[in-house]
Amino acid sequence: MHIMEGYLPVSHALGWAALSLPFVAYGARKIIRTLEEKPETKMLLAASGAYVFVLSALKIPSVTGSCSHPTGTGLAATLFGPSVTAVLGTIVLLFQALLLAHGGLTTLGANVFSMAIAGPFIAYGLYRGLTRAGASMAVAVFFAAALGDLATYCVTALQLALAFPDPVSGVFGAAVKFLAVFAPTQAPLAISEGLLTVVVMNLLSRYSADELKALAPATGKA
């Protein structure tokens, strides 16, 4: 889902950055507030950020014969909410843009929007919706993390289609082409991310009950 440095026209690069900035700014304020009100969740916040670090570093083979990486944002989104996740994802994307030439500074806004905002929001919405509908924690977390991961890649495809419409079939035709590149490769990885996030949540419910309770209003389990 990393759009490479310089691969978005200036207007698109600026537009996505302007769209992403308020989410990240709000998320930063929310992190400060969360740490003031619930200092006991500091370590869990760090661990959630670390989960994004690990998962987004792993390029995993897919049944399509290509490789891609999970996002790791579903965990933080279900625990701390999407705006906090926007900050964590931005840190990871900045690290990769500066040290790995993966993604870039000019495309940071667009990449933040797909990986750190759109995916986490969908994950959070699914988690809340499914738990309210009576789904078990494991089922809700699985679908939240898996579909949040897949959504990130679909958003990337749409961002590229908007920037590079097909000369014949337009934005829609380009979207189909970019989705064909990302979605089939990502599907099994999204399942993996969903399963792995359930593993972590299982561990958390066993060892971190107090922190989960402190965060409960944010996770909708009050």
Partner 1 sequence: MLKQNLILIAAVAGLAVAPLFIHRDGKAEFSGSDGQAEALITEIRPDYQPWFSPLWEPPSGEIESLLFALQAAVGAGLIGFYFGRRSATPKTPRSPSAENRAG
* Closer by beta carbon to partner 1, 13 or else 123: 13
DSSP-derived letter for residue 165 is: -
- Measured at the CA of 57, the angle between CA 64 and CA 18, to 5 degrees, comes to 95
Q: Which of residues 34-53 bind partner 1 (CB under 8 A)?
A: 39-40, 43-44, 46-47, 49-53
Q: Which of 20, 73, 78, 185 binds partner 1 (CB under 8 A)?
A: 185
* Closer by beta carbon to partner 1, 40 or else 132: 40
139 binds partner 1 (CB under 8 A): no
- Give dist(CA 125, CA 79) in Å, integer: 12
SS3 104: coil
Q: Which of 156, 175, 212, 215 binds partner 1 (CB under 8 A)?
A: 156
Q: How many residues bind partner 1 (CB under 8 A)?
A: 79
1 binds partner 1 (CB under 8 A): yes
* Closer by beta carbon to partner 1, 122 or else 190: 190
- Give dist(CA 209, CA 200) in Å, integer: 13
Q: Does an H or E element contain 137, and which?
A: helix 137-163
154 binds partner 1 (CB under 8 A): no
178 binds partner 1 (CB under 8 A): yes
| Torsion angle (degrees, nearest 10) of CA 181, 21, 162, 52 | 0
71 binds partner 1 (CB under 8 A): no
217 binds partner 1 (CB under 8 A): no
First to last CA, the chain: 34
95 binds partner 1 (CB under 8 A): yes
CA distances from 61 to 65, 186, 193, 214 (A): 7, 10, 13, 38
* Closer by beta carbon to partner 1, 9 or else 22: 9
206 binds partner 1 (CB under 8 A): yes
DSSP-derived letter for residue 40 is: G
